[in-house]
Amino acid sequence: MSDELKMSVSGALKNKSGMKVVYVTFEDEGRRAEGELPECRITRNSGFTKQEIEALQQYMANQKDTIMKMAQSVNPMKAFLSGGDKSL
């Protein structure tokens, strides 16, 4: 992975099963991976290797509490109006 990896975090939402989830997006030089917390798994991938996906999943697991706190601070209306999620 490059040194320039962008991570975006959604606010907490309910999925189709009614479970609270947070969506995390990683972007790097035209590649994109989307994951979900609390499962800490990548659900969509475009361009990252299997090893990189495993590293992203491990990162989500290690930083789960921090990412969940970030999600709590997301203002859904502000994020919608600005056209994006909370980014690092």
Pairwise CA distance, residues 60 & 38, whole Å: 9
Q: In whole angstroms, how large is the CA radius of gyration of the chain?
A: 13
The span from the CA of 58 to the CA of 83, in Å, is 28
First to last CA, the chain: 16
| CA pair distance 68, 72, nearest whole angstrom | 6
Q: What is the pLDDT along the chain (88 residues), one digit of tens a residue?
A: 556 899 999 988 888 888 999 999 999 989 999 999 999 999 999 999 999 999 999 999 999 999 999 998 886 655 556 655 444 4
Tokens matching residue 50: 């299997």
- Position 88 scores a pLDDT of 46
